[in-house]
Amino acid sequence: MNDDQIKGKAKDIGGKVQEEAGKVTGSSEQQAKGLSKQVEGKVQEKAGDLRDAINKGNR
């Protein structure tokens, strides 16, 4: 795993926690921020996957 994959997964998990906290507290703003973090994390994780694939192809 590379840094982008790890950081992306962490953002995704953090976003899920934030979304659930928003649901519990009734804060649609926190839910939206949590969803946004999840998307950002998944994009970063996929960028890391792509980097890994490129690096493996160059070996």
Residue 37 has pLDDT above 90, yes or no: yes
- Taking residues 21-30, report their average pLDDT: 98
The proportion of the chain whose per-residue pLDDT surpasses 70, expressed as a percent, equals 100
Domain ranges of the chain: 3-57
Residue 58 has pLDDT above 90, yes or no: no
What confidence score (pLDDT) does residue 11 get? 98
H/E/C letters for each residue in 7-52? HHHHHHHHHHHHHHHHHHHCCHHHHHHHHHHHHHHHHHHHHHHHHH
- Taking residues 26-50, report their average pLDDT: 98
User: Against a cut of 0.95, is the pTM above it?
Assistant: no
- Taking residues 50-54, report their average pLDDT: 95
